[in-house]
């Protein structure tokens, strides 16, 4: 039923009265739109990562069939991703529209049967249901309270009540909707399970954030703002929920009952810091009468520093020194010493250590480090607002930093900053953060969605170019395999033999192209390939001397067909007609000479070079052994003239090598490493998607991604972040560059997580020492 919730009735009604059956309350329209926006971003993130995941699996596939099925799934997802996204969101809208459409005990059409109740299902369906059951169970364990309260708020404004399982935002309904949206593609069960895993990673795992935002929206709309949490309810592990300016009462209640792990993590960090004070970290010189400032006062001081950062990006920011100066100035006005509270001081120290790691990280180009350094104060403010910042992996501020670092991985220092769209976008994100972020962390969500949309568009363009590069290189590899096969066939027949020069030229320069075309088109098991080889064998046989009558009869039979096959092959391979005509006239002279070598008076059929398709009876001449030039028919006159000069004979002494495009890796290496050399093992550990920094001959650094490993030729193809091919190497040349320390592997793991892991590791090491 079409949703007409935007029509406002004139009849007066209570602010939150239940809407008439069939009409969605306006507050739920806002909820639906908020959820749709978030889910759309999650789905887009899923598709943005699906190609990499499927391609990596395809590269590790153990059979051609498995690899082909993964590539087919990639193509289908690319073609139908918009349809899947549209269908998924359409079902979301329909499920909201149906909320007031069913009676109690009569579930709506969107409700899916419980997977536990399915007893007679096929094996594929069983595997699918088990995967969904697992996803749903994880969310219910983690976000049971948030979902319960969301359902309670929905029921507060609905005329017909629903259960948690019927909630349009419940994990089982969203999973069923996604499966239904993907049914337009006939995936095999193994592919379907991979896509479900991606759905769990990029959508289901983020439902806690969605529930927080939606619950907050309803609280702000005064829908059960004082909903109490029963002590019997299970403690969730969802993150804090922010209102516009401060943590809401509801969020504070959730924070109190949140899983202890979040608090333990920060308390452990505090404990390690406290044990290192006076040893690694100097004790703070705090006057006895010093008054700790509140977190709100600290936020105001940090906002002041944030607004007065230098206009030019710099990595040199001594926040502690600047903050102390501000506190001294504040103390001089109030006539009392002011200091930062111990908890906030620990937060400052942790963020400082995180950024010390980040700004020393060689994976980020220096020019972009200067931009990222400007985010230190905003991230410090985010950590002061929410101490779970250090444990909450999906915190939007952390995710924004990770996304920026991930996008910056392929950025080279010589890229033009003024013209480069990525640099300009990061600069814009940083500037907006500095300008707009005061104490509302929702700005990070907005900036994150904006940046993901930008990088998603860039990623799709680069992936398209990467795919074209891979296709071109794979085509090139097939062409090289075909060339090697043709060379082998030519050398088998010609090497070491003495033959007329025209025949060697014809086979090497012209017929080789016919063979290449048939190999690429049909393969070496095809009848076309075998027929073309047979034509080559017939040609060589036809110009050899034969004295017995049976051979002469065979020559009489095959020459017309041979010339016809040669002409057809030349035409299919688009050989220059002038070149073909020259070959045919010289070849015909050879055949005339072959006929005249016979001493017996035998009728010999010679096909006219003017029209091979005419009736052979019209082009037959009787050529006795003692024939003279004047007795020859007119159409063979020119050929007989040519045969007066003996054909130039050549001995094929060297292997025939057909012309081919040179590799961009032209270096020849005298050094050959042993198979167990560590450098070769490093090369073998590379996988498609690896980011590498090459130090070039002029000492400039080139960052590129391994886009393809062409196994038949052993070539490694590298592209820049735009997907354009920039380098090609073979296994040995890569190993030698590794050995010479001219290659650095870049770490594409999440930047913030690596930084936090490093900080925790250092603190534990210092503590143990």
Q: What is the pLDDT of residue 154?
A: 86
What does the DSSP 8-state code read for residue 482?
A: H
CA gap 98, 68 in Å, rounded: 41
Q: What is the pLDDT of residue 614?
A: 36
Q: What is the pLDDT of residue 20?
A: 41
Do 748 and 407 meet the contact criterion of CB atoms below 8 Å apart? no
Q: Which residues pair with 730 in a beta bridge?
A: 715
Which residues make Cβ contacts (< 8 Å) with residue 510, sequence separation at least 6?
570, 573, 575, 579, 580, 583
Highest mean pLDDT: which range of 200-214, 601-615, 663-677: 200-214
Highest mean pLDDT: which range of 233-237, 591-595, 691-695: 691-695
192 pLDDT tier (thresholds 50, 70, 90): confident
Rounded to 5 degrees, φ, ψ at 472 are: -65, -40
Q: Are residues 420 and 524 in the same domain?
A: no
Domain carrying residue 129:
26-229+245-258
User: Hey, is 743 helix, strand or coil?
Assistant: strand
Do 714 and 705 meet the contact criterion of CB atoms below 8 Å apart? no
Do 383 and 437 meet the contact criterion of CB atoms below 8 Å apart? no
User: For residue 621, how many other CB atoms are within 10 A of its CB?
Assistant: 19
Q: Are residues 137 and 196 in the same domain?
A: yes
Mean pLDDT of 482-490: 89
Q: Which residues pair with 411 in a beta bridge?
A: none
Do 712 and 720 meet the contact criterion of CB atoms below 8 Å apart? no
What does the DSSP 8-state code read for residue 403?
A: H
Q: Which two tokens stand for residue 680?
A: 């070769």
Distances (CA, A) of 70 to 50, 254, 257, 260, 621: 11, 43, 44, 42, 64
379 pLDDT tier (thresholds 50, 70, 90): very high
647 pLDDT tier (thresholds 50, 70, 90): confident
What does the DSSP 8-state code read for residue 109?
A: T
The tens digit of pLDDT for each residue in 445-470 reads 899 988 988 888 888 888 888 888 88
Whether the predicted pLDDT of 32 surpasses 70: yes
> Max Cα separation, the chain?
132
Q: What is the pLDDT of residue 134?
A: 73
81 pLDDT tier (thresholds 50, 70, 90): confident
What does the DSSP 8-state code read for residue 11?
A: S
CB-side exposure of 292: number of CA atoms within 13 Å?
A: 9
Q: Are residues 373 and 415 in the same domain?
A: yes
Question: Which candidate, 523, 530, 531, places its Cα nearest to that of 562?
Answer: 531
Inside any domain, residue 592: yes
Q: Which two tokens stand for residue 699?
A: 């000492």
Q: What is the pLDDT of residue 375?
A: 92
Mean pLDDT of 477-503: 87
- Specify the pTM: 0.52
Q: Are residues 738 and 762 in the same domain?
A: no
Inside any domain, residue 602: yes
Handedness of CA 193, 195, 201, 204 (dihedral sign): negative
Whether the predicted pLDDT of 245 surpasses 60: no
Mean pLDDT of 405-411: 86
Indicate the average pLDDT of the chain: 75
Q: Are residues 193 and 276 in the same domain?
A: no
Whether the predicted pLDDT of 253 surpasses 80: no
User: Hey, is 698 helix, strand or coil?
Assistant: coil
Which residues make Cβ contacts (< 8 Å) with residue 341, sequence separation at least 6?
292, 293, 294, 295, 298
Q: Are residues 350 and 338 in the same domain?
A: yes
Q: Are residues 125 and 41 in the same domain?
A: yes
Q: What is the pLDDT of residue 124?
A: 57
CA gap 584, 588 in Å, rounded: 6
Q: Are residues 451 and 548 in the same domain?
A: no
Distances (CA, A) of 350 to 277, 356, 357, 389, 457: 13, 10, 11, 11, 35
Handedness of CA 729, 730, 735, 737 (dihedral sign): negative
Inside any domain, residue 751: no
Distances (CA, A) of 572 to 191, 515, 528: 41, 11, 12
User: Hey, is 655 helix, strand or coil?
Assistant: coil
* Complete DSSP assignment for 205-235: GGHHHHHHHHHHHHHHTTSSTTPPPPTTSPP
Distances (CA, A) of 631 to 296, 589, 601, 623, 637: 117, 17, 14, 9, 9
Q: Are residues 739 and 764 in the same domain?
A: no
Query: What percent of the chain lies above the pLDDT cut of 70?
Result: 74
Mean pLDDT of 747-768: 82
CA gap 579, 80 in Å, rounded: 49
Q: Among 202-206, 336-340, 530-534, which is the least confidently predicted range?
A: 336-340
415 pLDDT tier (thresholds 50, 70, 90): low
Distances (CA, A) of 45 to 135, 200, 206, 639: 18, 12, 11, 73
Q: How many domains does the chain have?
A: 4
139 pLDDT tier (thresholds 50, 70, 90): confident
Inside any domain, residue 476: no
CA gap 242, 209 in Å, rounded: 11
Element (H, E) at 705: strand 701-710
Inside any domain, residue 669: no
What does the DSSP 8-state code read for residue 715?
A: E
Q: Among 157-166, 228-237, 316-325, 651-660, which is the least confidently predicted range?
A: 228-237
The tens digit of pLDDT for each residue in 288-339 reads 677 888 888 888 888 888 888 876 655 556 677 778 778 877 766 666 777 8
Whether the predicted pLDDT of 580 surpasses 60: yes
CA gap 346, 339 in Å, rounded: 13
- Measure the N-to-C terminal CA separation of the chain; round to a whole number of Å: 69
114 pLDDT tier (thresholds 50, 70, 90): very low
Q: Which residues pair with 293 in a beta bridge?
A: 340
CA gap 254, 540 in Å, rounded: 89
646 pLDDT tier (thresholds 50, 70, 90): low
For 675, counting Cβ atoms within 10 Å of its Cβ (0-12 exposed, 13-18 middle, 19+ buried), the class is exposed
Query: What percent of the chain lies above the pLDDT cut of 90?
Result: 5
CB-side exposure of 169: number of CA atoms within 13 Å?
A: 31
The tens digit of pLDDT for each residue in 87-105 reads 899 899 888 888 866 443 3
Question: Which candidate, 627, 625, 578, 587, places its Cα nearest to that of 607?
Answer: 587
Q: What is the pLDDT of residue 413?
A: 66
Mean pLDDT of 601-619: 37
Do 763 and 269 meet the contact criterion of CB atoms below 8 Å apart? yes
Q: Which residues pair with 746 in a beta bridge?
A: 691
Mean pLDDT of 5-21: 38
For 391, counting Cβ atoms within 10 Å of its Cβ (0-12 exposed, 13-18 middle, 19+ buried), the class is middle
Whether the predicted pLDDT of 121 surpasses 80: no
Which residues make Cβ contacts (< 8 Å) with residue 485, sequence separation at least 6?
519, 524
Q: Are residues 212 and 66 in the same domain?
A: yes
CB-side exposure of 694: number of CA atoms within 13 Å?
A: 20
Which residues make Cβ contacts (< 8 Å) with residue 503, sequence separation at least 6?
539, 540, 543, 587, 590
Question: Which candidate, 128, 118, 116, places its Cα nearest to that of 193?
Answer: 128
User: Which residue would you say has higher pLDDT here, 558 or 16?
Assistant: 558
Q: Are residues 536 and 642 in the same domain?
A: yes
Rounded to 5 degrees, φ, ψ at 719 are: -125, 160
* Complete DSSP assignment for 177-199: HHHHHHTTS---HHHHHHHHHHH
Q: Are residues 115 and 179 in the same domain?
A: yes
Q: What is the pLDDT of residue 52?
A: 76
From the centroid of its chain, how far is CA 97? 36
SS3 per residue for 600-638:
CCCCECCCCCCCCCCCHHHHCECCCCCCCHHHCCHHHHH
Mean pLDDT of 381-405: 87
Inside any domain, residue 81: yes
The tens digit of pLDDT for each residue in 738-756 reads 988 889 888 877 888 888 8
Q: What is the pLDDT of residue 583?
A: 84
Highest mean pLDDT: which range of 18-27, 351-360, 615-624: 351-360
Inside any domain, residue 713: yes
Mean pLDDT of 411-429: 77
Mean pLDDT of 10-22: 39
241 pLDDT tier (thresholds 50, 70, 90): very low
Whether the predicted pLDDT of 378 surpasses 90: yes
Mean pLDDT of 106-122: 38
CA gap 489, 486 in Å, rounded: 5
CATH of the domain at 687: 2.30.30.30
Inside any domain, residue 90: yes
Whether the predicted pLDDT of 12 surpasses 70: no
């Amino acid at each position: 039923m079409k949703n007409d919730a935007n029509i406002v009735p004139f009849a007066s009604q209570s602010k939150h009265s239940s809407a008439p059956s069939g009409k969605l309350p306006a507050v739920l329209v806002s909820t639906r739109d908020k959820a749709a926006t978030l889910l759309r971003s999650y789905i887009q993130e899923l598709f943005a990562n699906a190609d990499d995941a499927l391609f990596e699996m395809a590269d590790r596939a153990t059979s051609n069939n498995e690899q082909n099925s993964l590539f087919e799934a990639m193509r289908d997802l690319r073609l139908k991703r918009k349809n899947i996204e549209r269908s998924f969101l359409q079902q979301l809208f329909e499920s909201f529209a149906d909320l007031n459409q069913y009676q109690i005990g009569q579930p709506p059409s969107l409700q899916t049967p419980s997977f536990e109740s399915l007893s007679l299902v096929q094996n594929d369906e069983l595997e699918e249901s088990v995967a969904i059951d697992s996803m749903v169970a994880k969310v219910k364990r983690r976000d049971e309270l948030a979902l319960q309260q969301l359902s309670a708020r929905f029921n507060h404004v609905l005329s017909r009540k629903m259960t948690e399982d019927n909630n349009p935002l419940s994990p089982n309904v969203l999973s069923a909707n996604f499966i239904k949206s993907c049914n337009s593609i006939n995936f095999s069960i193994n592919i379907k399970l991979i896509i479900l895993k991606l759905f769990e990673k990029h959508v289901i795992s983020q439902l806690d954030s969605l529930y927080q935002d939606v619950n907050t929206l309803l609280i702000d709309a005064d829908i059960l703002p004082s909903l109490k949490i029963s002590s019997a309810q299970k403690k969730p592990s969802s993150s804090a929920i922010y209102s516009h300016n401060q943590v809401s009462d509801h969020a504070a209640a959730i924070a109190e009952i949140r899983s202890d792990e979040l608090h333990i993590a920060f308390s452990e960090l505090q404990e390690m810091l406290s044990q290192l004070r006076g040893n690694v970290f100097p004790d703070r010189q705090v006057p006895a009468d010093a008054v700790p400032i509140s977190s709100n006062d600290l936020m105001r001081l940090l906002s002041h520093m944030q607004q007065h950062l230098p206009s030019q990006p710099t990595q040199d920011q001594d926040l502690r020194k600047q903050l102390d100066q501000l506190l001294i100035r504040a103390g001089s006005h109030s006539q009392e010493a002011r200091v930062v509270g111990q908890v906030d001081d620990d937060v400052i120290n942790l963020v400082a250590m995180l950024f010390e790691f980040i700004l020393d990280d060689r994976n980020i180009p220096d020019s972009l480090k200067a931009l990222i350094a400007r985010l230190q104060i905003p991230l410090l403010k985010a950590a002061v607002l929410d101490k779970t910042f250090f444990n909450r992996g999906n915190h939007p501020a952390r995710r924004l930093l990770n996304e920026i670092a991930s996008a910056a991985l392929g950025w080279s220092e010589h890229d033009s900053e003024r013209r480069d769209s990525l640099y300009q976008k990061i600069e814009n994100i940083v500037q907006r953060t500095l300008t707009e972020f005061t104490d509302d962390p929702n700005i990070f969500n907005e900036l994150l969605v904006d940046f993901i949309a930008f990088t998603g568009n860039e990623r799709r363009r680069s992936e398209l170019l990467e795919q074209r590069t891979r296709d071109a290189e794979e085509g090139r590899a097939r062409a090289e395999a075909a060339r090697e096969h043709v060379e082998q066939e030519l050398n088998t027949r010609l090497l070491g033999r003495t033959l007329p020069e025209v025949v060697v030229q014809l086979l090497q320069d012209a017929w080789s192209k016919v063979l290449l075309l048939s190999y690429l088109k049909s393969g070496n098991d095809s009848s076309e390939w075998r027929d073309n080889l047979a034509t080559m064998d017939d040609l060589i046989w036809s110009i050899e001397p034969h004295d017995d009558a049976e051979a002469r009869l065979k020559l009489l039979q095959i020459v017309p067909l041979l010339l016809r096959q040669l002409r057809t092959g030349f035409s299919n391979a688009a050989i220059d007609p002038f070149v073909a005509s020259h070959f045919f006239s010289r070849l015909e002279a050879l055949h005339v000479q072959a006929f005249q070598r016979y001493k017996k008076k035998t009728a010999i059929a010679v096909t006219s070079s003017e029209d091979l398709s005419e009736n052979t009876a019209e082009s037959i001449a009787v050529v006795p052994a003692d024939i003279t030039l004047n007795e020859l028919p007119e159409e063979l006159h020119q050929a007989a003239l040519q045969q007066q000069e003996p054909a130039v004979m050549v001995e094929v002494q060297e292997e025939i090598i057909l012309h081919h495009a040179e590799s961009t890796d032209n270096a020849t290496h005298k050094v050959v490493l042993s198979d167990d050399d560590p450098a070769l093992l490093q090369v073998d550990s590379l996988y498609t998607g690896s980011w590498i920094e090459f130090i070039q001959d002029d000492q400039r650094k080139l960052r590129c991604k391994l886009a393809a490993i062409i196994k038949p030729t052993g070539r490694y193809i590298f592209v820049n972040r735009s997907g354009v091919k920039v380098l090609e190497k073979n296994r040995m040349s890569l190993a030698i560059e590794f050995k010479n320390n001219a290659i650095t592997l870049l770490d594409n793991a999440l930047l913030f997580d690596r930084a936090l892991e490093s900080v925790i590791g250092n603190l534990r090491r210092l503590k143990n020492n």
